[in-house]
């Protein structure tokens, strides 16, 4: 490894840092002013890439030359900026005061919508963009060839940083943005129209995302997966740099760019693990990132101000028994497909229930709960495939593997709160996703592990259904019991008032850590049950959409109700099962439904039902 | 007998001195009021005693044991109960459950997963709620109470551990006028009866001069006067920097009836 | 001729969560007049201002500014009608320079009036002129207090809600604050001034209200209040 190699590696690290910074600066500016973490920022980036990949060749047809190329880049970014404005006007300004869980979910709804729109508009093929005129030949640096376009990228980062500095310091808009980042309410009290300011900010943020995407085109094709790939990295950059800090984003991008460029030499498979370690380290030392500052205590918590828990009334006990009896009798219908779907519902219901325990009872809004579902599934599958452990032993390993993962990640996660916590959980899940994807020798990579079948005695759909029912029912009732036990009360106490909990002797962090491990173990059990149902597992089980599915189930069922998630799982999974085969636009429908639910129905189906019942019962306490 | 001894507490926030060499003592069954203008360092001092803030220098000693750098939860276990300026209760629980939660924590049962929390320590919780007049509302959700009642519940939570020292940060803030005197009366009578030392801050001078055994006057992070209500009332320095002519008159009216 | 007051408030009630902090507050601010809202800490002075400004949840029977209802408006619309707000805790944008802080507050002047400019404001607050490029985080408390008033005046308001400008300041700075209030008055800006400091209030105000525990307890001229010891004892003594 000679010096020239290190220099080239360093330069390519700078180039990726530039791209990362341009994208992240948009996210961090939007967050600074609106306090919304825009999940759809990656979608805007993807749109920028698609726009550029289709627009630039046409411009190059008109006049072959560098100006056409760069005009195409700017036009693409502008178009994305306009989409950002549309998004602000139609969606974001309705949810500025909503709990952050709802904000994240609603913007994830946009992610889903954009994914289907892109598929419809641009087709499923990756689109290879043109290379920049005049920058096609590599340059020689210390005897090594280096893409000349990357030199332009290296310059682009500092140029954007400089332009942003000018914009933010030398224009009235910029001064207002900086003032609003510090104190939105005071800016309003001085007569500044916040709505306009926010719209302008979204334009700027979306423009930067689009610019990042368009600049990427000569390096890599536009693909339908790039939205979620980039968003996790962008989250990491903004969290390390400090939410809302542009210099922080620059610093963090440089760190991560170099970490990836050189990390790949040392640990080729697990550069993302290094990135996570960096983030964990930074957050432990500086919980608000390198250049961030402490957040004012977050406003509304999604699950706060719940009503006291009460035991099941005799009616409710009756309903539970009827449901259980119906589940036991379901196979009598003799429909094998129905049994399969019911098994899946039980598994996802259990998964959603574990997440609900974490969010509703623990007050920890996790955006990466799929991590523990996947860890359980992979744990059991690996034990069976690599060590020949039979199902009877491999299945118990699922919750254990998930609990171990939750112990490790939870140690860092419970030190944070609010949006930082949500983003760290998401990043943790993305790390595991990347590991499962990249560590082909062990995990089978993209193909995953196949042939993970249950023991012969449990291999029929019918037996496996009852097997799953037994575990799911036991785990749900057990976890429900914990909610009513002192541990559950302690978690709710810490959620209601951390100050008060601390003042009555509760070690809040330790109890939350335990809750995180417990919820992780139950999710792992669900993952274990899932892998033996499917017979295979691949990295998608750990992906963001799986985490969001679980959140959507909670939203459907209502956050304040104990059994809501089970209803949500049944509704969402049945819908998915019925509608997905009929339409190519499933994701768009799901996305729009999530957005609609956040806007219209924030208490969920069960919550709405309970509210109606209380109204019906009259004002009695 | 000295319950709490605070020695030489200092705290600086970004160059601004919030507390400078603050020292005082609280005896068993004594009510000590901390008064002074806004920004004088009352809440800072308070949070250093309660463990919410770590002092730059100085010591907090409870029953001859140094507890300066302990977390609030550890100070609670040593016998310090506290109420907050904006009442902190568990809003998703009933009144009784709020107190039960504190009792569960006292008993070290917070990690228990088998028992039913609603049945634990319920009788004891009702006994604790009775003197603050909230036993009748034991099963009401805390979120449906009037704010004055929330303050009473908070007092009950703070008393649940049978504390030796009670910290009350502006106990009557945010309450309707009628409720203020009653709450202060209640807290004082419970403290005297149970020989609990009380450290409280308060802006309502009638509450201070009617109930405090001794008063500390804090101005710009420093104690400028300390003594009995009579001494503080008569102190020319206090009159000059804080009470003014009119404050002294108010203090005069609020003179406590001899016990 | 009796002109209608610039600000009229009736039946104003405000809440923090479950705690009601204002009860049926009624007051008027006349054009070009300085009116003091006196009371102890926690009496409800600040909340009254914030409720008028649309910054806390409140309801009112009548809340009219310059002849139009401002009830339920967002604070930026209220500000654009010409009502300025100077918060007690200053809320300076500490990352911004003095000049940039003034820029955030800048709004066009209503027709005809001579607009406030940084230069005119620097004449009232000479200290600010010397540090126009300095970041506000590097200013002293008194300088920040000057800046927060100057920032609000940049919006060319018809009336200003001014919350405890003298609090925690050295006597010389307090004198500057009094000059600032008088300069506003000279410009025809009405001021609703929250104060605990009777000496300061009586030096600049025409009339006074006393608020105690969320209720208005007294209304009258500032001279009468200064002379009435019983009243002062009852409501203003700390």
Among candidates B92, B101, B106 on the partner chain, residue whose Cβ is nearest the Cβ of A307: B92
Q: Which of C18, C214, C237 is the closest to B205 by Cβ?
A: C237
CATH of domain B1-79+164-259: 3.40.50.300
At residue A610, the pLDDT reads 64
Are the beta carbons of A38 and A28 closer than 8 angstroms?
A: no
Count of CA atoms in the C-beta half-sphere (13 A) of C101 = 33
Confidence of residue A297 (pLDDT cuts 50, 70, 90): very low
The structure tokens listed for A448 are: 């995953």
Does the pLDDT value for residue A621 go beyond 60?
no
User: Confidence class of residue A288 from pLDDT cuts 50, 70 and 90?
Assistant: confident
- Cα of A184 to nearest chain C Cα, Å: 10
Shortest CA gap C18–chain B (Å): 6
Is it the case that residue C237 has pLDDT exceeding 80? no
> For chain B, which residues score pLDDT lower than 70?
14-15, 38-39, 174, 176-178, 241-259
B71 close to A (CB below 8 A) = yes
Interface test with C, best of B172, B250, B252 (most C CBs within 10 A): B250
Q: Which residues of A touch C75 (CB under 8 A)?
A: 185, 188-189
Assess contact for A501 and A508: CB atoms under 8 A.
yes
Q: Are A359 and A350 in contact (CB under 8 A)?
A: no
pLDDT at C16 over 70: yes
A487 Cβ under 8 Å from any chain B Cβ: yes
pLDDT value at position A585?
87
| CA dist., res. C142 & res. A300, Å (int) | 35
Domain at A317-617, CATH from 2.40.360, 1.10.3470, 1.10.287, 3.40.1350: 1.10.3470
Out of C19, C167, C214, the one facing B147 most closely (by C-beta) is: C19
Q: What is the mean pLDDT of residues A276-290?
A: 83
Greatest alpha-carbon pair distance for chain B in Å reads: 62
So what's the pLDDT on residue A282? 87
Q: From the candidates C54, C79, C93, C105, which should be mutated to test the interface with A, based on the most A CB atoms within 10 A?
A: C93
Catalogue the E-assigned strands of chain C.
7-16, 19-29, 34-38, 58-59, 62-65, 68-69, 83-86, 159-163, 190-195, 207-212, 215-221
Look-up of token digits 């000479």: C126
Query: Which of these, A382, A407, A406, lies nearest to A395 by C-alpha position?
Result: A382
How high is the pLDDT of residue A305?
47
Q: What is the average pLDDT across A430-439?
A: 87
Buried b (16+ CB within 10 A) or exposed e, C35-48: bbbbbbbbbbbbbb
Tell me which range, A266-280, A392-406, B141-155, B227-241, is most confidently predicted by mean pLDDT: A392-406
Residue A508's φ and ψ, nearest 5 degrees, are: -60, -45
Among C residues 17-36, those touching chain B with beta carbons less than 8 Å apart: 17-21
Domain ranges for chain B: 1-79+164-259, 93-161
Contact (CB<8Å) A502/B71? yes
- Cα dist from B110 to A308, A478, A479, B101, B107, whole Å: 18, 17, 16, 8, 8
Q: Which residues, 6 or more positions from A426, have their beta carbon under 8 angstroms from its beta carbon? A: A232, A235, A367, A368, A544, A547
* pLDDT tens string C85-118: 999 888 899 889 999 999 999 998 887 678 899 9
Give the gap in angstroms from C-alpha C21 to the nearest C-alpha of chain B.
6
pLDDT at A569 over 80: yes
Of B73, B82, B115, the CB nearest to A486: B115
B-chain residues within 8 Å CB-CB of A357? none
| Mean pLDDT (chain C, rounded) | 87
Angle at B111 between CA B108 and CA B113, to 5 degrees: 125
**Is A334 an 8 Å CB contact of chain C?**
no
Q: Is A191 on the interface with C (CB under 8 A)?
A: yes
Q: What is the mean pLDDT of residues A605-620?
A: 59
| Across A339-361, average pLDDT | 94
Buried/exposed code over A1-36 (b: 16+ C-beta within 10 A; e: otherwise): eeeeeeebbebbbbbbbbbbbbbbbbbbbbbbbbbb
Please name which of C120, A380, C17, A572 lies closest in space to residue B143, comparing C-alpha atoms: C17
CB contact under 8 A, B243 and C40: no
pLDDT in tens, B127-149: 999 999 999 999 999 888 878 88
Least confident range from A397-401, B83-87, C188-192: namely B83-87
Domains within chain C, CATH numbers bracketed: 7-235 (3.40.50.300)
Contacts of A325 (CB under 8 A, 6+ apart): none
Q: Are C96 and A178 in contact (CB under 8 A)?
A: yes
| Core vs surface per residue B38-77: b (16+ CB within 10 A) or e | ebbbbbbbbbbbbbbbebeebebbbeeeebbebebbebbb
Nearest CA to CA, how far is B257 from chain A (Å)?
34
What are the chain B neighbours of C17 within 8 Å (beta carbons)?
A: 86, 147
Cα separation, C39 vs C88, whole angstroms: 14
| Interchain CB contact of C70 with B (< 8 Å) | no
Residue B203: its chain C contacts at CB < 8 A? Answer: 40-42, 238
Query: Using CB atoms and an 8 Å cut-off, which of residues 177-236 of chain B contact chain A?
Result: none
* Alpha carbon of B245: minimum distance to chain C alpha carbons (Å): 8
Dump the DSSP string for A485-518. Answer: SHHHHHHHHHHH-HHHHHHTT--HHHHHHHHHHH
Token representation of residue A246: 């542009």
Interface check for A301 against chain B (CB to CB < 8 A): the answer is: no
Q: Test C238 with B243 for CB contact under 8 angstroms.
A: yes
Q: Which member of B173, B205, B253 has the closest CB to residue C238?
A: B205
Report the neighbours of C using a cutoff of 3 or more CB pairs below 8 angstroms.
A, B
CA distance to partner chain C, nearest, from residue A196 (Å) = 11
pLDDT of the residue at A267: 73
Chain A: closest CA distance from residue C163 (Å): 14
Give me the phi and psi of B237, to 5 degrees please. Answer: -65, -45
**B119 CA: distance to closest CA in chain A (Å):** 10
Residue A537 parent element (H or E): strand A536-537
DSSP symbols for chain B:
-EEEEEEEEEEEETTEEEEEEEEEEEETT-EEEEE-STTSSHHHHHHHHHTSS--SEEEEEETTEE-TT--HHHHHHTTEEEE-SS----TTSBHHHHHHHHHHHHTT-TT--SS-GGGTTHHHHHHHHTTTT-GGGTTSBGGGS-HHHHHHHHHHHHHTT--SEEEEESTTTT--HHHHHHHHHHHHHHHHHHT-EEEEE-S-HHHHHHH-SEEEEEETTEEEEEE-HHHHHH-HHHIIIIIHHHHHHHHHHTPPPP-
**Measured distance CA(A358)–CA(C210) in Å, rounded:** 50
Using CA atoms, how far residue A23 sits from A67, A230, B164, in Å, is 23, 9, 56
Least CB-CB distance to C96: which of A175, A189, A194?
Answer: A175
Q: What is the DSSP string of A244-309?
A: T-HHHHHHHHHHHHHHHHHHHHH-TT-HHHHHHHHHHHHHHH-TT-SS--PPPPPS--TTTTPPPP
How many other CB atoms are there within 10 angstroms of residue B7's CB atom? Answer: 16
Over 90: is that where the pLDDT of A249 sits? yes
Report residue C1's pLDDT band, with 50, 70 and 90 as the boundaries. very low
Is residue B176 less than 8 Å (CB to CB) from chain A? Answer: no
Whole-number pLDDT of residue C86: 95
Residue from the list B170, B204, B246 with its beta carbon closest to the beta carbon of C236 = B246
Tally of CB atoms within 10 A around A140: 11
Query: Any idea how long chain A is?
Result: 621
**The pLDDT of residue A296:** 52
Can you give the pLDDT at residue C238? 43
Interchain proximity A178–C76, CB inside 8 Å: no
pLDDT at A615 over 80: no
Q: Range with the lowest mean pLDDT among A272-281, A424-433, B101-110? A: A272-281
Q: How many Å apart are CA A56 and CA A71, to the nearest integer?
A: 8
**Identity of the highest mean pLDDT range in A131-135, A208-212, B108-112:** A208-212
Chain A interface, best mutation among B117, B128, B154, by max A CB count within 10 A = B117
What share of chain A has pLDDT > 90, as a percent? 55
Which chain C residues have a beta carbon less than 8 Å from that of A193? 76
- Mean pLDDT taken over chain A: 89
Structure confidence by residue, pLDDT tens digits, A452-469 = 999 889 889 999 999 999
Q: Rg of chain B over CA atoms, in angstroms?
A: 18
Q: Is A182 on the interface with C (CB under 8 A)?
A: yes
**What is the per-residue pLDDT across B236-251, written as a single tens digit (0 to 9) for each?**
887 776 665 555 655 6
Q: What is the pLDDT of residue A494?
A: 94
| Angle (CA) A334 A337 A340, round 5° | 105
pLDDT at A620: 35
| Residue C89 near chain B (CB below 8 Å) | no
Residues β-bridged to residue A139: A146
Q: Shortest CB distance from C233 goes to which of B170, B203, B246?
A: B246
| pLDDT reported for residue B85 | 84
**Which helix (DSSP H) or strand (DSSP E) does residue C123 occupy?**
helix C118-124
- The phi and psi torsions of C15 (rounded to 5 degrees) equal -135, 145
Residue A164 pLDDT more than 80? yes
Provide the shortest C-alpha distance from residue B222 to chain C (in Å).
14
For β-strands B2-13 and C159-163, DSSP reports them as unpaired
Count of residues making up chain B: 259
Q: Residue A527 carries which DSSP code?
A: H
Q: b vs e for A365-384, b when ≥16 Cβ sit within 10 Å of the residue's Cβ?
A: bbbbbbbbbbbbbbbbbbbb
Chain C: residues touching A (Cβ < 8 Å): 53, 55, 74-76, 79-80, 85, 87, 91, 93-96, 100-101, 103-107, 151-152, 155
Sketch the domain layout of chain A as residue ranges.
Answer: 15-227, 317-617
Separation CA A540–CA A74 (nearest Å)? 34
Which residue of B82, B92, B114, B120 to mutate against A (max A Cβ within 10 Å)? B92
Is A507 at the interface with chain B, CB within 8 A? yes
Q: Is residue C54 predicted with pLDDT exceeding 50?
A: yes
Calpha distance B18→B58 (Å, rounded): 14
Q: Considering only CB atoms, which residues of chain B are within 8 Å of chain C?
A: 37-39, 86, 145-147, 150, 170, 173-177, 203-205, 242-244, 246-251, 253
Q: Percent of chain B beyond pLDDT 90?
A: 54
Quote ipTM for the complex: 0.92
């Amino acid at each position: 490894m000679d010096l020239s190699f290190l220099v080239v590696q360093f330069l390519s690290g700078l180039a990726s840092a530039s791209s990362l910074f341009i994208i992240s600066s948009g996210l961090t500016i939007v967050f600074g002013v609106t306090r919304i973490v825009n999940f759809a920022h990656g979608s805007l980036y993807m749109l920028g890439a698609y726009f550029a990949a289709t627009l630039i060749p046409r411009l190059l047809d008109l006049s072959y030359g560098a100006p056409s190329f760069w005009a195409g880049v700017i036009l693409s970014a502008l178009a994305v900026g306009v989409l950002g404005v549309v998004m602000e006007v139609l969606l974001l300004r309705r949810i500025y005061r909503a709990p952050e869980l709802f904000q994240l979910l609603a913007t994830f709804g946009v992610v889903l919508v954009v994914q289907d729109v892109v598929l419809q508009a641009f087709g499923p093929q990756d689109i290879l963009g043109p290379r920049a005129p005049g920058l096609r030949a590599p340059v020689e640096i210390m005897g090594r060839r280096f893409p000349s376009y990357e030199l332009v990228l290296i310059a682009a980062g500092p140029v954007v940083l400089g332009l942003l500095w000018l914009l933010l310091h030398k224009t009235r808009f910029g001064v207002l943005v900086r003032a609003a980042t510090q104190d939105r309410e005071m800016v309003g009290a001085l007569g500044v129209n916040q709505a306009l300011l926010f719209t302008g900010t979204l334009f700027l943020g979306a423009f930067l995302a689009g610019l990042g995407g368009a600049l990427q085109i000569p390096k890599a094709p536009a693909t339908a997966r790039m939205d979620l790939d980039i968003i996790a990295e962008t989250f990491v950059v903004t969290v390390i740099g400090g939410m809302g800090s542009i210099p922080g984003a620059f610093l963090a991008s440089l760190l991560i760019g170099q970490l990836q460029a050189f990390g790949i030499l040392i640990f080729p498979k697990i550069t993302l693990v290094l990135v996570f370690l960096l983030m964990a380290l930074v957050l432990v030392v500086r919980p608000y990132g390198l250049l961030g500052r402490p957040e004012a205590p977050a406003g509304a918590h999604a699950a706060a101000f719940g009503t006291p828990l009460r035991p099941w009334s005799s009616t409710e006990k009756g309903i539970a028994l009827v449901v259980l009896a119906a589940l036991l009798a379901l196979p009598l219908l003799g429909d094998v497909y129905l049994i399969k779907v019911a098994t899946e519902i039980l598994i996802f219901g259990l998964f959603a229930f574990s997440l609900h325990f974490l969010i509703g009872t623990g007050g920890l809004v996790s955006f990466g709960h799929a991590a523990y579902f996947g860890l359980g599934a992979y744990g059991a599958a690996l034990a069976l495939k690599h060590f020949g452990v039979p199902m009877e032993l491999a299945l118990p390993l699922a919750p254990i593997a998930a609990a171990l993962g939750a112990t490790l990640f939870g140690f860092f996660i419970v030190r944070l709160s609010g949006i930082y916590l949500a983003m760290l959980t998401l990043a943790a899940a993305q790390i595991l996703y990347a590991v499962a994807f990249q560590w082909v020798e062990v995990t089978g990579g993209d193909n995953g592990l196949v042939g993970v079948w249950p023991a012969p005695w449990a291999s029929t759909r019918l037996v496996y259904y009852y097997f799953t029912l037994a575990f799911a029912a036991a785990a749900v009732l057990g976890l429900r019991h914990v909610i009513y036990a002192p541990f559950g009360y302690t978690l709710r106490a810490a959620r209601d008032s951390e100050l008060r909990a601390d003042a009555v002797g509760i070690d809040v962090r330790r109890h939350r850590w335990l809750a995180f491990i417990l919820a992780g173990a139950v999710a792992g059990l669900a993952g274990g049950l899932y892998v033996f149902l499917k017979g295979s597992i691949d990295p998608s089980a750990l992906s963001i959409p799986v985490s969001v599915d679980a959140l959507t189930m909670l939203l459907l069922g209502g956050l304040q109700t104990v059994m809501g998630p089970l209803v949500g799982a049944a509704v969402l999974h049945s819908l998915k099962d019925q509608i997905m085969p009929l339409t190519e636009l499933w994701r768009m429908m799901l996305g729009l439904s999530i957005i609609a639910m956040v806007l219209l129905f924030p208490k969920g189906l069960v919550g709405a039902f309970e509210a109606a019942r209380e109204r019906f019962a009259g004002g009695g306490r | 007998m000295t319950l709490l001894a605070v020695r030489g507490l200092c705290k600086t926030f970004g160059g601004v001195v919030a507390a400078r060499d603050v020292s005082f003592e609280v005896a068993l069954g004594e009510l000590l009021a901390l008064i002074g203008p806004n920004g004088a360092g009352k809440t800072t001092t308070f949070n250093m005693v309660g463990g919410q803030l770590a002092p730059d220098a100085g010591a907090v000693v409870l029953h001859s044991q140094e507890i300066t750098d302990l977390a609030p939860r550890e100070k609670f276990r040593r016998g310090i109960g506290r109420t907050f300026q904006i009442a902190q209760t568990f809003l998703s629980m009933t009144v009784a459950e709020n107190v039960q939660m504190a009792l569960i924590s006292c008993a070290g049962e917070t990690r228990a997963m088998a028992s039913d929390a609603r049945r634990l320590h319920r009788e004891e919780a009702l006994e604790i709620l009775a003197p603050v007049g909230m036993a009748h509302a034991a099963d009401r959700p805390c979120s449906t109470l009037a704010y004055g009642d929330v303050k009473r519940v908070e007092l009950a939570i703070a008393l649940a551990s049978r504390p030796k020292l009670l910290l009350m940060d502006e106990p009557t803030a945010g309450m309707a006028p009628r409720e203020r005197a009653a709450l202060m009366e209640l807290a004082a009578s419970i403290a005297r009866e149970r020989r609990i030392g009380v450290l409280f801050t308060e802006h309502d001078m009638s509450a201070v001069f009617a109930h405090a055994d001794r008063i500390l006057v804090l101005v710009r992070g420093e104690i400028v006067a300390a003594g009995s209500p009579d001494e503080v009332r008569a102190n020319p320095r206090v009159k000059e920097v804080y009470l003014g002519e009119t404050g002294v008159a108010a203090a005069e009216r609020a003179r406590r009836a001899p016990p | 001729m009796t002109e209608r007051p610039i600000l009229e408030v009736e039946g104003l009630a405000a809440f923090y969560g479950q705690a009601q902090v204002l009860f049926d507050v009624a007051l008027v601010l006349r054009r070009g007049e300085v009116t003091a809202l006196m009371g102890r800490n926690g009496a409800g002075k600040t909340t009254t201002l914030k409720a008028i400004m649309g910054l806390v949840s409140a309801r009112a029977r009548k809340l009219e500014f310059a002849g139009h209802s401002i009830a339920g408006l967002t604070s930026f619309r209220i500000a654009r009608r010409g009502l300025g707000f100077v918060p007690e805790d200053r809320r300076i944008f500490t990352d911004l320079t003095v000049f940039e802080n003034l820029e955030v507050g800048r709004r066009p002047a209503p027709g005809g009036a001579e607009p406030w400019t940084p230069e005119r404001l620097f004449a009232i607050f000479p200290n600010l002129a010397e540090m126009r490029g300095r970041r506000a985080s590097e200013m002293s408390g008194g300088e920040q207090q000057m800046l927060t008033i100057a920032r609000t005046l940049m919006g060319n308001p018809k009336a200003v809600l001014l919350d405890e400008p003298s609090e925690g300041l050295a006597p010389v700075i307090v004198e500057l604050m009094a000059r600032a209030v008088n300069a506003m008055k000279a410009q025809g800006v009405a001021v609703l001034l929250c104060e605990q400091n009777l000496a300061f209030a009586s030096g600049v105000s025409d009339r006074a209200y006393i608020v105690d525990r969320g209720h208005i307890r007294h209304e009258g001229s500032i001279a009468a209040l200064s002379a009435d010891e019983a009243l002062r004892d009852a409501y203003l003594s700390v």
